[in-house]
Structure 1
Amino acid sequence: MESKVFEYIDITDPIHLATNTERAEEDYILVKAKSCEKVPIKNWDPPAYCYTRRFQNYEKELFNFEVKKDDVWVSSFPKSGTTWCQEMVWLICHGLDFSAAKSEPLSTRFPFLEVSLIHDTKGEINSFERARDMPSPRFIKTHLAVSMLPKQYWDVLPKTVHIHRNVKSVALSYFHHSKRIFYRGTKEEFIRSFMKDLQFYSPIHAHVIGYHSLKNCRNILFLKYEDMKSNLRGCVETVCRFFDRSYSDEELDLLCQHLSFDSMKQNLACNYEDKNNDAWESKSRDERFIRRGEIDSWKDELSLEIVEELNQWTNDTVKNLDQMHLFL
């Protein structure tokens, strides 16, 4: 039966068709929202985004997900500093309760709303049910683009923090993340597929521009990964103001220390490593979920050829020069 809400589009790229099995991408599909009339963006025709065929099994759960006024959302394109931002937001909104944060995984405190669209989840309930059943106020992570958010989002307008990052850094980090989980191709193959908008949640440019077209929505706070790296204290203070929270200088110092890269890398509540297996500490840097945490690591990990291709791709895709800074 044809969906009334989403259009499903098979991928026709010849390289994808020839290699998707060996790269573990055989169930990829493009999904486009048929109507975005509630989204406050004028003259807008959002693109299709890349998911798996599991999307069809959960489209009703996504579209009809109940959004609550006291929800707190963190949204981003994958590998843009999401985990870092989540931990910051959760602690600011929970009175800097570091003991509680360390005693329960971030994935439980701040569940990933739509991960069931991408892969199966552990246990008997899907990711939408898990988020639905969280006690209020719920803290919800999403990588959904603006056009794919639940319909109630636009009626309720929960407080949301969106974080974005240099597109070259995202491309590199996304490759390492995907390779860690399932991807079987090379770095160059992944990034060229990413530039064809054929990795999960792509296209990245439309995702970021979509959110930044909502600057007049007072429920959304915009952060940038690079700003958090260069001025974490300033970003923390901005988030405190957004949530109307106030802490002493000493308390904010402790929070910044907790959010430092070295601390996050070793924090088993955030680093997605198996706490019951000490072998995680012997993993190579590239095998870890929290890998380098640097701003410009792409400069020594990507070839000049790939960097030039990424730059040209962004130049060709982003037509409004005022939006170019979002990807640099």
Structure 2
Amino acid sequence: MSVPFEIRDIEPNLLEKVLKLFPTRKDGYVHAGSKNYFLLSKYREEATHYYNLELRPDDVWIVAFPRSGSTWTQEMAWLIDNDLNYERARNEKLTQRSIFFEHSLLMPNGYIKDLLEKNRDDPAKLEFLKDKFTPSYERVAKMKSPRHVKTHFPFSLLPPKLLDTCKVIYVARNPKDVAVSYFYLYQLKGALQKDAEFSQFWDLFQNDLVNWSPFWSHLEEAWSFVEHKNLLVLFYEDMTKDLSAVIRRTASFLGKSITDEQVSELAEYLCIDNFRKQPSLQHVMDNAKGMKEDVPGFYRKGESGAWRSMFPPELSAKADEWIQEHEKRTDISFRY
């Protein structure tokens, strides 16, 4: 099996630019497909497994550019599709109920080998790590139906029959808030140069040099299928403004009946303060030796408009020009 698109190393001058801000990822990056999607170099060895995954008609997929509300949507969609089984949701981690398709892509092989070596004398942690580092596409293949899967891949890098086979929810968010949230995530993970400034990160973001970019190509691919019966497009800004309405739309899309009382209960469960407190939703990894705690702060403010504190007037004007140029290509108009 293979993939019908090219995967190539990024140019040396671009790699140099990226490594100035992300000095720890010396394993490199690739461009994939005609839109030059920017991915970690490990993608080259795993691409065929992602593209050729065997789909099931009762799969539900959450597709989104990073930091667009995909985790929030994962939990909402899983609960609706599983008849509001809060007991299971509270006791089984979301990362097991709704697997992040390319999670293993983020783990350099050297990092995996080092962690396994550091924990070789602790059977329980070693077993945990081996399970964690199993390629995500293998974990997805072994899931019981109905499967829920999250991915940041664009449609062109996913199984080609995805929309004709499965229900897909695409989540979009305005690029200014996406970039701010992405910047803080990289900070929390210790991936950025210590003195990195947001303006430097925005330069990479706008020039399609952060993971899973280009942002606009990702969005435009999804929008080209907006009339497809198996695609529901949600906007993060709508979720923050009227979550109950989004819950009703999602339930209708998934073919589920839901009462007003159930909508209110689910909206309360999903509110950001409650979301942070749920143990099954935590992104802090078990404290295996050598493993970073993935992030107190993974769930940030759960609101729109946080970009205002990060964009000085000159940078905001530059961003607006870029945004307006791209919005002309679709009938999408984000709320800021």
Query: Structure 2-normalised TM-score?
Result: 0.84
Query: What is the rounded CA distance, in whole Å, between the counterparts of 1:18 and 1:225 in structure 2?
Result: 31
**How far does residue 180 in structure 1 lie from its aligned partner after superposition?**
1.6
Which deviates further from its counterpart, 231-240 or 21-30? Answer: 21-30
Checking the alignment, whether the CA contact within 8 Å between 1:64 and 1:152 is kept in structure 2 is no
Whether 1:30 and 2:38 are equivalent positions in the alignment is no
Aligned to 1:215: 226
Equivalent-residue separation in structure 1 for 2:279 and 2:241 (angstroms): 25
For the Cα contact (< 8 Å) 2:18–2:209, is it kept in 1?
Answer: no
> One-letter code of the match for 2:257?
S
What secondary structure, in the 3-state scheme, does the structure 2 residue paired with 1:20 have?
A: helix
For residue 22 of structure 1, report the CA deviation from its aligned partner. Answer: 6.0
Q: CA deviation at 1:16?
A: 4.3
* Aligned 8 A contact 1:208 1:326 in 2: no
Point out the more displaced range, 103-112 or 296-305. Answer: 296-305
CA shift for structure 1 position 276:
7.5
Asked if the contact 2:62/2:74 (under 8 Å) is kept, the reply is: yes
Matched residue, 1:123:
130
Q: Which residue matches 1:170?
A: 178
Deviations 1:259-303, CA, capped at 9 Å, x for gaps? 1011112122123135789xxxxx9xx951001112001112332
Amino acid aligned to 1:48: N
Q: 2:37 maps to what in 1? A: 49
Query: What does residue 248 of structure 2 align with?
Result: 237
- How many residue pairs are counted as aligned between the two chains? 305
Q: CA RMSD in A?
A: 2.4
Q: Superposed, which structure 2 residues align to 1:209-288 within 5 Å?
A: 209-274=220-285, 287-288=296-297
In the alignment, is residue 135 of structure 1 matched against residue 134 of structure 2? no
Q: Could you say if the C-alpha distance between residues 158 and 308 of structure 1 is closer, same or farther in structure 2, counting changes exceeding 3 Å?
A: same
Gaps of 5+ in 1: 34-45, 278-282
Q: Do the aligned partners of 1:11 and 1:30 also contact (CA within 8 Å) in 2?
A: yes
Which residue, 174, 180, 184 being the options, matches 2:188? 180
Partner of 1:322: 331
2 CA distance for matches of 1:292 and 1:11? 34
SS in 1 for 2:169: strand
8 Å Cα contact 2:32-2:39 kept in structure 1 = no
Equivalents in 1 of 2:84, 2:231: separation in Å?
22
Aligned to 2:209: 198
User: Which segment is superposed worse, 266-275 or 236-245?
Assistant: 266-275
Which structure 1 residue ranges, 4+ long, deviate > 6 Å from structure 2? Answer: none
Higher mean C-alpha deviation, range 173-182 or range 234-243: 173-182
Per-residue CA distance 1:76-114 (angstroms, 9 max, x = gap): 000000111011000001111111101011111000112
Aligned to 2:317: 308
Deviation at 1:251, TM superposition (A): 1.7
1:146–1:114: structure 2 CA closer, same or farther, 3 Å change rule? same
Tell me which amino acid in the other structure corresponds to 2:93.
P
Secondary structure of residue in 2 paired with 1:184:
coil
Name the % identity: 29
The question of whether the paired residues in 2 share the 8 Å contact of 1:73 and 1:139 is answered with yes
CA distance in 2, matches of 1:62, 1:136: 18
Please state how far the C-alpha of 1:19 moved relative to its aligned partner.
5.5
Using the size of structure 1 for normalisation, the TM-score is 0.86
> Mean Cα displacement is larger for which, 120-129 or 74-83?
120-129
Match of 1:79 among 46, 67, 79: 67
Q: Is the 8 A contact 1:164 1:326 kept in 2?
A: no
Any idea what SS the aligned residue of 2:280 has?
A: coil
Distance (whole Å) between structure 2 residues aligned to residue 85 and residue 303 of structure 1: 31
| d(CA) in 1 for partners of 2:327, 2:249 | 28
CA 1:192–1:25 in 2, change beyond 3 Å: closer, same or farther?
farther
AA matched with 2:43: F
Structure 2: runs of 5+ lacking an equivalent:
113-128
Aligned to 1:158: 166
Letter in 1 for 2:130: G
Q: Decide which of 99, 103, 106 is 1:111's aligned counterpart.
A: 99
212 and 18 in structure 1: CA distance in 2 versus 1, 3 angstrom threshold: closer
